[in-house]
């Protein structure tokens, strides 16, 4: 692959549309494709199976994640469902890192309760603890790094090495939504599957719901392709085109997210209203505990530039309260054990002027003091 920024910006521009020389790839809405004759096809038959704009996006997703094949689907949750419905059966077991996107836990709970696929959790620190949990039933390991919302960093390469040394058949899936391939390429670290909620950084503008699955092994890719044709949760052409457009600026956006987040992490940690700040050092996600005696509700109502809203990864700064939003479905005891207290605030740092963001958060925190 060429360097990532060049691939992101130029990698999808030289399409088969040589007749016009268009710099930007065309958008094909057609669901059906004419056949020249019996047994002949252009390669496109029906758009659930494959369609040119989504195919171009999938080539690009595979390239930037160092995979051989990618699948663009209708949401981040659809990626999890695609992986699970393809690779797990009743009686299989999975192991997950313990601090995940709340919706992922909700999905695991339904698989456990309705399909007999139990899961255990790993705290993401000592790889030996994870290896000790492997049983003959273990089929899949699910990781998120840094974790959500407490920003624990996992050693994906160490997990892949230790697990595959004893169980080469166990699949390791990494949700790479937070860091994106700009900062982390799980397939090069030994993971088998990478998933994204492309709704977040890959899309980057709070206007697109999408997901991506990328694999290195063509045999896994063939199984996913067959399953996706069967279940049909593919990404529509217009959304595929929007995501192609968004990916062009992924590199520059991620670096700007990091610069703003590093600045805010340092400044916010020094405020008296901030008891503790959590940041992985890279990427745009920070979390902090509002000190005792500060009202979360007053803080949220006091924001004028940042929005109190439930998503992440966009140019707009969004502030979330995981205990009542993203992780509300998790039992309270489990939430508290993970440090997801009612005072924990998660900030998806956007690309506004960093001084304006600091001023907004600082005044809202100060105004929240009882
Ligand atoms: C949002 C999110 C998901 C779910 O993605 P949707 O696009 O909302 O379906 C999965 N994993 C992570 C880390 C997320 O942030």
Residue 16 confidence (pLDDT): 64
Final residue in a domain of this structure, among 248, 275, 297: 248
pLDDT for 369: 97
| Residue 101 annotated among the catalytic residues of the structure | yes
175 is catalytic: yes
- CATH number for the domain harbouring residue 190: 3.40.640.10
First vs last C-alpha separation in the chain? 55
pLDDT bin (cut points 50, 70, 90) of residue 21 is: confident
**Among 54, 111, 200, 346, the one annotated catalytic:** 200
**Whose structure tokens read 């689907």?**
73
| Cα–Cα distance measured from residue 296 to residue 82, given in angstroms and rounded to the nearest whole number | 37
CATH code assigned at 264: 3.90.1150.10
pTM exceeds 0.75 for this model: yes
- Strands lying side by side in the sheet with 344-348: 274-279, 285-290, 344-348, 318-320, 307-308
The verdict on 234 and 329 lying in the same domain is no
The tally of domains found in the chain comes to 2
Of 214, 248, 282, which residue is a domain's last? 248
The reply to whether 278 and 222 lie within a common domain is no
Stretch 56-78: mean pLDDT = 98
- Select the more confidently predicted residue: 1 or 368: 368
198 and 58 part of one domain: yes
Q: Are residues 95 and 196 in the same domain?
A: yes
Q: Give the position, in ligand 1's atom list, of the atom nearest the Cα of 198.
A: 7
Q: pLDDT digits over 175-188, tens only? A: 999 999 999 999 99
Cα Rg of the chain (Å, integer): 21
94 shares a domain with 239: yes
Counting Cα atoms < 13 Å in the Cβ hemisphere of 365 gives 24
Mean pLDDT of 299-316: 97
Residue at which a domain ends, from 248, 271, 305: 248
Percent of the chain's residues with pLDDT above 70? 99
Instruction: Tell me the two tokens of residue 231.
Output: 């279940």
| Domain around 210 | 4-248
Separation of 37 CA from ligand 1 center, angstroms?
43
Give the pLDDT score at 290. Answer: 98
Q: What is the mean pLDDT of the chain?
A: 96
* pLDDT tens per residue, range 309-325: 999 999 999 999 999 99
Q: Specify whether the CB–CB gap between 191 and 163 falls below 8 A.
A: no
Q: How confident is the model at residue 330 (pLDDT cuts 50, 70, 90)?
A: confident
Q: So what's the pLDDT on residue 329?
A: 85
Residues 139 and 269 in one domain: no
Let me know whether 88 and 102 are in one domain. yes
Q: Both 121 and 261 in a single domain?
A: no
Residue 199 shares a structural domain with residue 256: no
pLDDT in tens, 156-215: 999 999 999 999 999 999 999 999 999 999 999 999 999 999 999 999 999 999 999 999
Percent of the residues in the chain that have a pLDDT greater than 90, as a whole number: 93
| 234 and 112 within one domain | yes
d(C-alpha 91, C-alpha 146), whole Å: 29
Query: Which of 194, 197, 285 best tests ligand 1's pocket when mutated (most atoms within 8 Å of CB)?
Result: 197
| pLDDT, tens digit (0-9, with 9 covering 90-100), for 79-127 | 999 999 999 999 999 999 999 999 999 999 999 999 999 999 999 999 9
Residues 244 and 255 in one domain: no
Mean pLDDT for the stretch of residues 224-253: 98
- 226 and 296 in a single domain? The answer is no
pLDDT for the residue 1: 58
């Amino acid at each position: 692959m060429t360097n990532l920024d060049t691939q992101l910006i130029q990698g999808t521009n030289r399409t088969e549309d040589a007749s016009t020389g268009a710099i930007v790839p065309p958008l094909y809405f057609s669901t059906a494709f004419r056949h020249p004759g019996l047994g002949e096809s252009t390669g496109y038959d029906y758009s659930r199976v494959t369609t040119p704009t989504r195919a171009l996006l999938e080539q690009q997703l595979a390239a930037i994640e160092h995979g051989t094949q990618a699948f663009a689907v209708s949401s981040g949750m659809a990626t999890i469902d695609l992986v699970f419905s393809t690779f797990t059966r009743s009686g299989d077991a999975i192991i997950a890192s313990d601090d995940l996107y709340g919706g992922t836990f909700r999905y695991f709970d339904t698989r456990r309760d309705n399909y007999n696929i139990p899961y255990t959790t790993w705290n993401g620190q000592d790889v030996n603890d994870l290896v000790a949990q492997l049983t003959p039933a273990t089929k899949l390991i699910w990781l998120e790094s840094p974790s959500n919302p407490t920003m624990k960093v996992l050693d994906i390469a160490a997990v892949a090495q230790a697990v595959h040394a004893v169980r080469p058949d166990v699949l390791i899936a990494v949700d790479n939504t937070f860091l994106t391939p700009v900062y982390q390429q799980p397939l090069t670290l030994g993971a088998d599957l990478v998933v994204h909620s492309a709704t977040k950084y890959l899309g980057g503008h709070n206007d697109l719901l999408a997901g991506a699955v990328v694999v290195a092994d063509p045999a896994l890719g063939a199984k996913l392709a067959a399953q996706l044709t069967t279940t049909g949760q593919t990404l529509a052409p217009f959304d595929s085109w929007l995501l192609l457009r968004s990916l062009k600026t992924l590199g520059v956006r991620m670096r700007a997210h990091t610069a703003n987040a590093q600045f805010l992490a340092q400044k916010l940690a020094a405020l008296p209203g901030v008891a503790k700040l959590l940041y992985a050092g890279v990427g745009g996600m920070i979390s902090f505990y509002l000190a005792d005696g500060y009202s979360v509700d007053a803080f949220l109502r006091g924001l004028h530039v940042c929005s109190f809203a439930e998503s992440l990864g966009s140019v707009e700064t969004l502030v979330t309260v995981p205990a009542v939003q993203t992780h509300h479905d998790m039992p309270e005891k489990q939430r508290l054990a993970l440090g997801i207290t009612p005072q924990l605030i998660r900030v998806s740092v956007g690309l506004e002027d960093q001084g304006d963001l600091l001023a907004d958060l600082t005044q809202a925190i100060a105004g929240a003091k009882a």
